[in-house]
Amino acid sequence: MVSGGFGVGKTTFIGAISEIEPLVTEAAMTEMAVGVDDAGHRADKTQTTVALDFGRITLDSSLLLYLFGTPGQDRFVFLWDDLVDGALGAVIVVDTGRVDDCYPVLDYFEARGTPFVIAVNRFDGSTRFDLDEVREALELEDWIPVLECDARQRDSVKEVLVSLLEQVLLHRTDHLTARDAG
């Protein structure tokens, strides 16, 4: 899963790494969205995801990684349960100019026990915060990875996904160990 608040770069993240043309369900933002969807410093944003984004990566000849991106607006949260069903883990994309937007996303994945990593998307011209400051603002445990990311750059997205896969494997190992001990 690739999730986060409105306009943080989820569609861009998936598009940067997908080996297929990503499926995107973007629609034009209309005047009806004024006052409802706050694009923040992204005043040039004219499209928004209304259902999901989908991309795919081949890890080896027998292993595919499917990427599903959630819509960022609160009014589409009802779609998330279906998208998240069966997910191995989540990348939570964060815009440090709008940190408050990611709290409901964090709560959502924490409540479900879904392993996740934080990808701080570096927007041109945005205020830069140290990753430890981001961790503190989000009240994250030390073991949760917080990484810098440029959602437009394939290598940057790849590093985030590798970190997520490592987190998923640790989570699975911890659950198996707990199950075998109990």
Q: What is the CATH number of the domain that holds 54?
A: 3.40.50.300
As a whole number, mean pLDDT of residues 61-69 equals: 93
User: Taking the alpha carbons of 1, 107, 101, 37 in that order, is the dihedral positive or negative?
Assistant: positive
pLDDT tens per residue, range 67-91: 999 886 666 666 778 878 889 999 9
**What pLDDT sits at residue 34?**
47
As a whole number, mean pLDDT of residues 58-72 equals: 89
Domain that holds residue 154: 2-181
Q: Which residue has the tokens 């779609």?
A: 79
Of 36-40, 90-94, 123-127, 128-132, least confident by mean pLDDT is 36-40
Q: Which residue has the tokens 């569609």?
A: 11
Q: Which residue has the tokens 């994945």?
A: 109
State which H helix or E strand residue 180 sits in. Answer: helix 154-181
pLDDT tens per residue, range 126-147: 778 899 999 999 999 999 999 9
User: What's 14's DSSP letter?
Assistant: H
**What pLDDT sits at residue 39?**
54
Q: For the whole model, what pTM was predicted?
A: 0.82
Domain count, the chain: 1
| Model confidence band, residue 24 (pLDDT cutoffs 50, 70, 90) | confident
> Rounded to whole angstroms, how far apart are CA atoms 119 and 149?
6
**What pLDDT sits at residue 56?**
95
For the packed helices 154-181 and 10-17, what is the interaxial angle rounded to 10 degrees? 100
Q: Distance of alpha carbon 159 from its chain centroid, rounded?
A: 13
> Rounded to whole angstroms, how far apart are CA atoms 53 and 126?
25
Average confidence score pLDDT of the chain: 83
Can you read off the two tokens belonging to residue 83? 């998208």
Provide the percentage of residues in the chain whose pLDDT is more than 70: 76
**What pLDDT sits at residue 176?**
58
